Amino acid sequence: MFDQSLQTDYAGTRGPLFWLALKTSTLTVLTLGIYRFWMKTRIRRYFWSAIRPGGIALEYSGTGVEKLMGFLVAVVVLAFYIGVFNLILMFLSFSLLNNNVVAYLASFVGLIPIYFYARYRARRYILARTRWRGIRFGAESAAWSYAWRAMLLWLATILSLGIYLPRQIFRLEKFRTDRTWYGQQKFCQTGNWKMLLRGARHYYIGLGLTITAGLGGFVNQSMLGLLVLSLPWLAIGFVHLRVTAFRRMTDAKRLGNDIGFCAHPRTGRVLGIYLLGYFLVGLCLVMSMVLLILIAVVVMVMLQSGALGYDSFGALFSGKGKSAEYLVYVGIALVYFGFFILLGVLRQVFVTLPMLRHYAETLEIRGGHHLATIRQRPRDEFSEAEGFAEALDIGAAI
């Protein structure tokens, strides 16, 4: 049989996503945040269903209820950990060392393994609730060993002033990929970290210039001027590294022996989506705030002229016009929450959606006919969902 290549279609559009995101985030504010678990669920359903490898959409099957329950469990565990742990640290730090620097440091360091643990668990939950062609994805339970590894690799990255980063990216990705399943077939990350080096050269140039500027700054203040050049270089080099790393590592992934992948996202396009996206987000925010201020001015003028049934403008601030005063509070609250709602919604529409489109449309699956041999895997109950990530507020963007 010849090699069958599956292209990926993308069906997401701005309009429906905008209304879905606006509706769900408004509900989230109105329910004091409780609806956010359903909001996340519904937005994921939309994004997943927009990605159609070989013409069949991905499906997200998570629920809001299980997310809320997972969150509650995580809050109790973390409340115990943070409450008691902080207290003991504070006591020991003051009793033995007569200061609290160690306590602050330790309570921060103590959260780092939990952060990586939560990240891995959230990824496992999302995979367990993702289906394609009716077959579930899955990940093995390895959150603590992931946390341990991630901490060591990050430590190496920091101690090496960032030089170790490509190797860290590869090793963590390999750890995750080698524990990922589609049905009863396992993924495998082939290749090695050296294949990321070609895409890392701009990152290294930026890094080198930044370190030079930093060290030179001790000797001669004017060396710090180099940062103007080196920091943007470093930032763009970093994005380029991430994009090419994604490309190379996806190309080197295997599902079973016979199914491969081919990804070709482009750095220029990714940067363009970021820049244009955030420009549009900013533009829309400014325009809607201007509109709100205009409305407020009109309301004020109408109040002053008595058109709304209030005696005078002065009553608004004299304390006599109680209901007018509430009107002002409601207005302020509307602007405040409206701003954050709109920011989140616009970001989904102008940044996340086009970014997913780019990554989806440039993804191919090679050897698609071998998929027919892949069987279903049992459901991973995973009752805690992504509660820890939610409680620590490190949930993914979507």
Binding site for other proteins (CB under 8 A): 11-13, 16-17, 20, 33, 42-43, 45-47, 49-50, 54-57, 59, 63, 65-66, 68-69, 72-73, 75-76, 78-80, 82-84, 86-88, 90-91, 94-96, 98-100, 103, 107, 131-136, 182-183, 336, 340, 371-376, 379, 391, 393
Question: Could you identify the residue written with the tokens 């041999």?
Answer: 373
| Nearest approach, Cβ of residue 9 and other proteins (Å) | 9
* Crossing angle of helices 143-159 and 165-177, rounded to 10°: 170
Nearer to other proteins, 61 or 212 (CB): 61
Rank residues 72 and 328 by Cβ distance to other proteins and give the closer one.
72
Alpha-carbon radius of gyration of the chain = 26
Q: Alpha-carbon distance 132 to 135, whole Å? A: 5
- In the bound complex, what is the minimum distance in angstroms from residue 285's beta carbon to other proteins? 15
Please name the helix (run of DSSP H) or strand (run of DSSP E) that holds residue 74, with its range, or none.
helix 64-97
Place of tokens 């080196």: 230
Query: Would you say 57 or 227 has its CB closer to other proteins?
Result: 57
Residue with structure tokens 């963590």?
Answer: 172
Residue with Cβ nearer other proteins (7 or 312): 7
Q: Give the strand pairing for 259-263 and 180-182.
A: unpaired
Q: How far is the CB of 311 from other proteins (least distance, A)?
A: 28
CB of 76 to other proteins, least distance (A): 5
Cβ-based nearer residue to other proteins, 96 or 219 = 96
* Nearer CB in complex with other proteins: 73/284: 73
Helix residue spans in 180-226 (DSSP H) = 201-219
Tokens 């599902």 appear where? 255
User: What's the rounded Cα separation, in Å, for the pair 388 and 274?
Assistant: 29
Residue 316: how many CB atoms within 10 A of its CB? 18
Smallest gap from Cβ 182 to other proteins, in A, equals 7
DSSP lists the bridge partners of residue 135 as 132
